[in-house]
Structure 1
């Protein structure tokens, strides 16, 4: 059997209903008799996702696709095959003329047509856009109409709401006593409230760009333009007062213009938003107050002459106002002063009262008042803060401003006081200071705890190696090869302990630096040659150094250590593979780093850039803390970056960090740039004295260190005299100034320190070589070595020998 609906596309709710519908009773008859034009149009419409309907035949029977079904609402179950007029009887008055026009052969397009629908049985207002087109049969005759439709209710309602909101905003702006305005980044005005035109009388287009300035008082234009231009360049908030000409009267009123920038995602200014506020009355009040102060002395004289109070002057302020003559009698006072005085002391003062006498029941307050007013009656104007009232109770604080009072001839006739209660302000500041101190103490204790734990852990590890090695060395049958190995372990561990101490001192900025002027580029190049042994073969080290030399004045050894510490961190971040870049830039300014203000410099910037995993934002604030490390146990002490920042700060610089997680990290060390050193002539006066036996004064307060030091020197062939402190050493020198060839002294000692002693000896014997030694000295950390040679503790016999190698004997004969 042939399917009469084979022309319909498969699927779809409406297609299924067409198949089930009984069509024999309609004017169209059985589907097998339908015209090809009807079948083709139906097939296209049902396959289209856009909402459409078709009215066909003499009765304009209604067909539609699935997309049109929601528009029908409750009509959807009965609309198929019914006359179009019956389906939309509720709005036929609106669409009937469109149907007639279309059936006459003229297509119609309507946009946002309002229709009162009833899709769920209730009246409903909606808006629609649709196109009616004639539908032709195969002979070209109009057989019906075809419509493509879309509901635009949501858009129409939204646009209406937007217009309402804009209209509401416009009326709100126009009713605002302030004048909102905007301008572009160059300062050209782009919008303003109509209130500006009402105030100034300018034309609608006149204020745009810089036209608004024409309404400003000519005397105020230079200062206004200066402030506005400076803020546009810096991005600071605009805040400027100027006088504006009123269009209705031609008079000028004082205005205050304020504006703030709006920035895009990159921080660039895209526009400025501002307001103009009428402050004319406030300006007049301020002027009146200035005039009041200027004429106050004259008013006092008039009050004395007329014996009347200045109620009209004093009662306009909440401040406590009074005036006294040289005998401490009240010339005038306002109600606020009388009320507060009575509240504090229980006595209400009046004009003519002896103010000091009123306080006879409170001797402390009486003495305080006498001292203050005695100064006010003799000195020029001054301001101070005082506490008043019963010492056993909570007392208010007042800021007191005193001004001399003079008569018309300039003679001093008393003093004027203007007092303001500042109790709450001072208490707020006190609470803030306490909170800040508590926070600083908590941070300090946290840092001390972390530092103590880290130092204890690392030094206990080192002491374990030393102690176990020494125990093994006591074994009588220990082979020589093992003995040497344990001795080497002890020596290496001492070096590591000294390095750890140096890193701690560098972090605390207490390391005794030995600065000198050196070429940074050459130092970086030489350090880069040895970095391969630190970073490994899979890391390529790239050096970017300018052709021009640049120098710094710093400790070169500490500089090398800082560079290596940053390189080791970079190596670990790259997991041993990638490119490590060492970059040098000269004559740079020091940027703002971690909230510290920058400076123009010049500075040398040494950057260590890796291609590693980057630093998470949460970790970044802690990377310079001592013993903070993200590495596994045994893979880092957490002191490397502490040494870097300590060295940088102690050398007058800083360290900045920029990191992109997952891509790269750049550490930049800033050091003050120095001038190149002047060429020095070769020193032909110093003669090496290898093998010469010297007479050395050893100054050391620690008994164990003193015994070790004298033993080392005597093993080297020198003779020694041991003084336990600086005073004893000076006595040895003064007893026989020619007795010694050199002095070897500790720096930190009780009583006279090593540096002070060395200066005393140098004043007596300028040619006597003095060599200092210290593991730590606060003076040397702050002020350097004062020109003396330094051997750092812990020292070895070889280091001591090297220090005295170039010391000549001062005399071949003489008392030993």
Structure 2
């Protein structure tokens, strides 16, 4: 202890214990006690700690006998809103106020009145020199001093600002210490984080190929990245104000300054192109400067934030494009000059003659060609018309016309024989020749079509048959193109998220919070990709269903309760169910998904407000739908009816197409109704839709009705169930894909299981033959070369009936068409939790032997 503390004395000793009421008052007859403890008034919880302690064996004695100096100093500490400590007497007895509580942590319960070196034993070596200086009269203030303390947050690095000062008694002798203390940990860490953020921002700015910059409300540049100095060769500070304009091309300076002046005056964003002199080459390159204003709460501009980006290559490309357009315009003018000559020549022949340019526009045609076109398609073309646009009124003809003319416009010369003409007369058969149309310099401008009547041998039905075939072909091409484009778009979006997240996760210095965010993004994206795959398989009627027999009414009642969260409070859901049970055999999860998809569409059609009616009819017949024959049934008919905007008649035939949607971008994928009809068809049913614009829409989902299941109660043999998940298993893994196999083996080992990996079903059977009783379960892929997973599972069921087999697949036609395989199934992509759950389920269904 410091020598000065040896001179400290306490004036006044204990005068015995007094009785004090809980509320700080004094019982009747104890006014003296009340007066003696009056210095504790307003001291809060800290004062109650002082009252509650037994001071009989303490060097200071009971509080009623404490000296005036101690009482006065302690009253000041207890009533201070600042965090304060009072260390008193030779032993530096430790007192504190309520504000100091959080710093004591586990010491709070016993620290009041304890010796300073006992309370802060872990910080005593650091505190002792400071206390000695304070007793010697050398009081100091410390700012943001680091301490390692055990506070209410546990042992932690902390920072404090504090000061120590002496307390003298009436004789001028040092009696104790005042300690003002304030924890500054949050501010210190905040300042550190701010500096890190500023450095991060600086590094980001400097690495940006663009040039970030700012200016004040008057247009004076105030900051810019070093990239500007590297590009222009200007020195630091030289671009400030308007100095940046010195490196602009002189021809671009007036227009640039006018654009900036207009933006500063109006507050509109800046967007201007100019040429900038490059220090490295001395040449000029085109740049694009953009800026947005930042405003204060009153709307006044306080600063402009902008970037400068290199657009030189884009400018050059635009110039080349303009030249090409000008050249094309000249060629079109040349063609127009020749039209009169062409028309005169065309009218001298009996053939039907027409010419299109490379964009399917009509360059010229004689009267016979125009009249025949009108007779065939019901549309009279004019020179300059886009033929494909005209035929959009007759969409069944677009694909064949496009295909034939595309060959000719690509430079191919050929002859075809085709029948067409006025449907009210016998259609003639025409020989159609295509030849290339070139200008005087030999450049291809389009193609001629010469049509001559060679026979009248085809009848109306033959022409109609070919038209139907062409239509079917066009629809197939359109559907495949639409499906392929939709899948590519959605999966590329998902892959972009995964790839970007993985690239960030490879960074060794990535913060844990951001690492967790990117991992969650990858996990969520995999789930979305899996859902998209499921919807596509549902549309193609190739999803692996897991059907079971269930009561539609019970399931529908449960779904209607869940739909309240989907549709919102402004939509009232009415459920109408028959009194008798109605069972179907179907996948209950896909059934609920179909209902949710229909409910979401109904909600959107009603703009979030109205009545949604769910109705079940048992024993219904399946009507003829979209040209398909009906069936007597019985069927369970589940209808979902809304009072929304309805569906236009020309859209009813398209609503079940994949990726077809009338919603805004980002509001839907166009796969919801595809899932519904795919699920219905694969379950042996269908979907009927009836709608009237402005009156609402009703979808009816038909599923084959079945008899209720027969309950079989298995006898309980009294043996306790075995918790297989509590022990490590020895598993036979069957997977032909090396990457997936490595991942699967690692996943199972991380779950605590031992694994043997077979690369195909034949190798797996060899492993079983070598060690028939050596495995607890088999985890096998379905799609493999040679013997597949389902065949392997059935072989093992015959030879090892007690051995659980878990199958996994991303898609299998065998599972999509035969749901009665009887094995546990894990769909790819799978998680560790799903695999563990499947293993537990398979083991639980195996009855213990012995």
The alignment's TM-score, normalised by the length of structure 2, stands at: 0.44
- Structure showing greater radius of gyration is 1
State the TM-score, normalized to the length of structure 1.
0.46
